[in-house]
Chain A
Amino acid sequence: MNPEELAILGAVAAFIAGSLVGLEYSYRVYREIFRERRLDPIALPLALLGWATLAVSWLKWRPLGLCAGAFLAGYVLNMRPGYGRIETALGLILFCSILLAHRGAEVIGC
């Protein structure tokens, strides 16, 4: 297995670990069963940081950054049902924006 595939495996394992922690933590902290259309002040920065780290680490190929980003992304993505959805969506938008901006910069020649 080459180093790239090892890094991917590490990121997947970190994603699952983050998901487990996020699921457990969200059930302990949030008492309401299902909450829609409200941004959580803790989950939002974690989601943005996680997806941004994932994007930058993928572009620059930093395995540790990939694992850290995957952990944070999984943490918010797999919170209790109804929680973390908007934060994850915003994080995904940021992820795609970073990739598109990098691609645009490559095309322009920056």
Chain B
Amino acid sequence: MVVADTLLGVTEAFLVGSVYLGLHRKVIARIQRRPGPPIIQEFLHTLKFLMKEAYAPITSAGFLYWLVPVFNVIIWSSAVTISAVFRGNLLPFFALYAAYKVLSHGAGVSAGSTYTKIGGVRHAIMPAGELALACSLISAYFITGHADVAGILAWERAHGPLIEHAPFSALAFFTLVWVDSPYSPLDPSKGYDIVEGYLTEYPGFLRSLMYTAEALKFYCELWVFQAVFLGISDPAVHLLAMGALTILLAVLCAVTPILTPYQAVGIHVLVASLMFLDALIR
């Protein structure tokens, strides 16, 4: 049953994450008065690249280059399994997120290209996002007394959604989800698959694995946010809440100007500081 639940949960995360990434892109396109690609375009990209030949650049780091996409899928499958499927402790979620940052840096440098190295380093200079994540999860623990999703949901059934008790923690987590959204103004790397993005040198089914990991990541972050801070536990309402969050994120990504990396880090630190002050006052 554990294996079956895990496989079904990860499959759902991949399918829903792909559709919501496509919805995100569609909403941005409509705001920009373009038709945009179909909502299932991200899913189609993943399938297309799965069928294509993969190769390693001559300058690549061999073993590390081939393993980065595999580990990317493994860590986000683990995050989905621990948090969404079995509603377990959130500390592994934080650890896996930190590992993802290491992997995205590794994706950039392992290809051996100077351009992707810049993209990978740029993506990894956002530790401020992990600061906000850690602070929001610690704040959730101190308020609810639980570090696991099931315990937090049970607390919220008795006391109401956590966002009412810790709004700045919810803002910090939401900022993290916003950073990790495609075309986000807060992300120092603009376009992972062009020019100097860390995905540029990953062809074929390796690129498909990276897209799979992106879909799992998007689903996992949305699911954890709406479970921990909005207190939603019904499966159908989960979908609606994540869809609404996706549309909100897409609108924010479409209408906000592009920020420089230092402005983005500054916003993260500001949000984390507001959260810390709020916790001190309360």
Q: Given A4-B235, A8-B235, does the pair A16, B40 have CB atoms closer than 8 Å?
A: yes
Interface SS majority for chain B: helix
B36 touching A12, Cβ below 8 Å? no
Which residues of chain A are near B234, meaning CB under 8 Å?
4
Interface residue range, chain A: 20 to 34
Interface string of B37-56 (1 = CB under 8 A from A): 11110010000000000000
Pick the contact of B235 from A5, A16, A20, A81 — CB < 8 Å?
A: A5
CB distance from B126 to the nearest CB of A (A): 31
Does A93 touch B at the CB level, under 8 Å? no
Segment at the interface with A among B10-18, B117-125, B156-164, B165-173? B10-18
Which residues of chain A are near B36, meaning CB under 8 Å?
81
Which residues of chain B are near A81, meaning CB under 8 Å?
35-38
Chain A residue nearest to B4 (CB atoms) is A1
A34–B8 Cα distance when bound, in Å, is 38
Pick the contact of B39 from A4, A5, A9, A78 — CB < 8 Å?
A: A78
CB distance from A76 to the nearest CB of B (A): 12
Chain A residue nearest to B12 (CB atoms) is A9
A1–B38 Cα distance when bound, in Å, is 30
CB distance from A64 to the nearest CB of B (A): 15
Pick the contact of A12 from B12, B37, B38 — CB < 8 Å?
A: B12
Does B213 touch A at the CB level, under 8 Å? no
Does A77 touch B at the CB level, under 8 Å? yes
A23–B212 Cα distance when bound, in Å, is 22
Does B19 touch A at the CB level, under 8 Å? yes
> Can you sample 8 A-B contacts with CB below 8 Å?
A1-B8, A4-B234, A8-B12, A9-B8, A12-B16, A16-B15, A78-B39, A81-B36
Which B residues form the contact surface with A (CB < 8 A)?
A: 4-5, 8-9, 11-12, 15-16, 19, 35-40, 43, 85, 234-236, 238-239
* Other A-B pairs, 12, CB within 8 Å; known A19-B39, A77-B39: A1-B9, A4-B234, A5-B8, A8-B236, A8-B239, A9-B12, A12-B16, A15-B19, A16-B40, A58-B236, A78-B40, A81-B37
